[in-house]
């Protein structure tokens, strides 16, 4: 398949590079925190500055990757294919149809996880630890979705740099 509007291909490649960079950093956070998770509210309350910095980096990277995938990669893919979704529900259904997502609910859960510590960063250590543990449990799904996106794009003859599968 050939795309008449190559500006969308170039834009997709730039957004992909951003997502891949963030995925690499998220993967690094997962490795650096592997001995600390799941994290209890007690451990979170007594965390030293180093651990707090690692947790904050993980939190930001999770949110950044989720935003990049949902707002840039999903929507730009649909522009590439001359699709015009009206709502995010449409976008998610179209991603499921392309086997990028297992279901729209998968993405909705990831969004809820992201929102649990992004907009209303919980005040209680118990709520914070629950939100962080949920993100920890689901971080690999973000990486898998990126892999699914790359695989789908290969089927429509769009090549992307970088090996996302190295982070899964």
Predicted TM-score (pTM) of this structure: 0.91
Instruction: Report yes or no on 98 lying in a domain.
Output: yes
Instruction: Report yes or no on 40 lying in a domain.
Output: yes
Q: What's the confidence (pLDDT) of residue 3?
A: 55
Q: What's the confidence (pLDDT) of residue 92?
A: 97
Cα–Cα dist 101/71, whole Å: 15
Q: Domain of 31?
A: 6-167
Residue-level pLDDT, tens digit, the chain, 168 residues: 455 467 889 999 999 999 999 999 999 999 999 999 999 999 999 999 999 999 999 999 999 999 999 999 999 999 999 888 889 999 999 999 999 999 999 999 999 999 887 765 657 888 889 999 999 999 999 999 999 999 999 999 998 999 888 887
What are the angstrom distances between the C-alpha of 128 and each of 32, 41, 142?
19, 7, 20
Instruction: Report yes or no on 1 lying in a domain.
Output: no
Count of structural domains, the chain: 1
Cα–Cα dist 71/65, whole Å: 10
CATH of the domain at 39: 1.20.120
Cα–Cα dist 122/167, whole Å: 29
Q: Is 138 left (phi over 0), alpha (psi -120 to 50) or beta?
A: alpha
Q: What's the confidence (pLDDT) of residue 1?
A: 46
């Amino acid at each position: 398949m050939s795309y008449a509007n190559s500006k969308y291909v170039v834009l997709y490649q730039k957004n992909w590079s951003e997502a891949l960079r963030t995925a690499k950093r998220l993967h690094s956070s997962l490795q650096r925190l592997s001995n600390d998770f799941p994290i209890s509210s007690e451990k979170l309350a007594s965390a030293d500055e180093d651990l707090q910095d690692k947790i904050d980096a993980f939190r930001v990277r999770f949110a950044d990757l989720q935003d990049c995938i949902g707002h840039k990669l999903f929507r730009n893919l649909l522009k590439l294919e001359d699709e015009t979704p009206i709502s995010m529900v449409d976008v998610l259904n179209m991603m499921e149809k392309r086997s990028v997502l297992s279901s729209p609910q998968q993405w909705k859960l990831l969004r809820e996880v992201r929102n649990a510590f992004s907009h209303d960063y919980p005040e209680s250590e118990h709520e914070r630890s629950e939100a962080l543990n949920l993100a920890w449990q689901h971080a690999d799904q973000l990486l898998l979705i990126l892999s699914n996106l790359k695989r789908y794009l290969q089927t429509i003859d769009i090549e992307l740099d970088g090996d996302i599968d190295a982070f899964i």
